[in-house]
């Protein structure tokens, strides 16, 4: 019995040392990985703002050999949980690239197909779809057409648009932008529905903008409604009015 106990002591000690060494090695590897992720961030970041801005994202897209309008860039933003369209902070960059296990451009490029598969899963796609709308809200551009205004009034209105309006939380997206977003996000899954919906949105005159409730309604419509016969569409159910109008428009076209 004493012999048995004397053997256990060193064995346990050796096992403990092995675990400690493994943890230390893992921690060191993780630290090195984070260092490379940070170095990659700073190669694209604007020095003055400390963020990757639209120009940096264009360079990133070029290195990844994808267009800046490619849906995978939106998926990358989703993975980072980026808050502002066209900008990545260091924390967002770390969050996304650590999750993708990508600390070089080559690894990030190779991770994009898997990221696309991840987003396409039903359990993730609804979250991605709603994120796309919220993300687009943060990059909305406000265009103001001014005619026959004196310089003083022009300067006043410009100041209001530049400094006051951004403080108001944007809740809707204009028809032109929503049409592009629909095609980008839903088009690969439901192209006939998206084509018809975009055609309707661009020809109707009742709606200038689309809100989140309507946006989510478009996704539900594509998933639940038989198309193009629309046989199971019931306007008495809780559909956004814009979809009731769209269905009426479709049925009128079908005769």
Identify the CA nearest to 225 among candidates 205, 239, 211.
Answer: 239
Which residue in this structure is represented by tokens 């860039």? Answer: 73
Domain-by-domain residue ranges, the chain?
Answer: 12-120, 151-254
Q: What is the pLDDT of residue 20?
A: 56
Q: What is the chain's alpha carbon radius of gyration, rounded to the nearest angstrom?
A: 26
Distance CA 172, CA 44 (A): 31
Q: Which of 12-26, 39-53, 106-120, 135-149 is predicted with the least confidence, judged by mean pLDDT?
A: 135-149
Distance CA 149, CA 130 (A): 40
Q: What is the pLDDT of residue 31?
A: 85
CATH topology of domain 12-120: Recoverin; domain 1 (1.10.238)
Distance CA 138, CA 121 (A): 26
Q: What is the pLDDT of residue 139?
A: 74
Distance CA 244, CA 188 (A): 24
Asked if 12-120 and 151-254 have one fold, the answer is yes
pLDDT digits (tens, 9 = 90+) for 162-197: 333 444 468 999 999 999 999 999 999 999 999 999
For the domain 151-254, what is the CATH code? 1.10.238.200
Q: What contacts 140, CB < 8 A, 6 or more positions away?
A: 170, 173, 174, 177
């Amino acid at each position: 019995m004493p012999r048995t106990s004397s053997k256990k002591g060193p064995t346990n000690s050796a096992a403990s040392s092995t675990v400690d060494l493994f943890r230390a090695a893992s921690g060191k590897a993780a630290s090195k990985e984070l260092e490379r992720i940070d170095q990659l961030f700073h190669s694209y970041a604007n020095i003055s703002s400390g963020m990757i801005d639209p120009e940096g994202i264009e360079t990133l897209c070029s290195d990844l050999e994808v267009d800046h309008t490619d849906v995978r860039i939106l998926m990358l933003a989703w993975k980072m949980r980026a808050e502002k369209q066209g900008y990545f902070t260091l924390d967002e960059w770390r969050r996304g690239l650590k999750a993708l296990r990508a600390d070089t451009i080559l690894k990030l490029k190779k991770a994009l197909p898997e990221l696309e598969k991840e987003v396409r899963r039903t359990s993730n796609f609804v979250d991605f779809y709603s994120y796309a709308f919220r993300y687009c809200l943060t990059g909305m551009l406000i265009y103001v057409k001014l005619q026959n205004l004196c310089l003083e009034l022009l300067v006043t209105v410009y100041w209001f648009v530049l400094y006051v309006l951004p403080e108001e939380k944007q809740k809707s997206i204009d028809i032109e932008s929503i049409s592009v977003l629909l095609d980008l996000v839903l088009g690969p899954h439901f192209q006939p529905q998206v084509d018809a919906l975009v055609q309707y949105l661009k020809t109707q005159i009742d709606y200038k903008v689309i809100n989140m409730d309507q946006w989510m309604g478009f996704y539900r419509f594509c998933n639940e409604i038989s198309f193009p016969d629309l046989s199971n569409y019931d306007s008495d159910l809780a559909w956004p009015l814009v979809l009731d109008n769209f269905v009426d428009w479709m049925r009128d076209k079908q005769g």
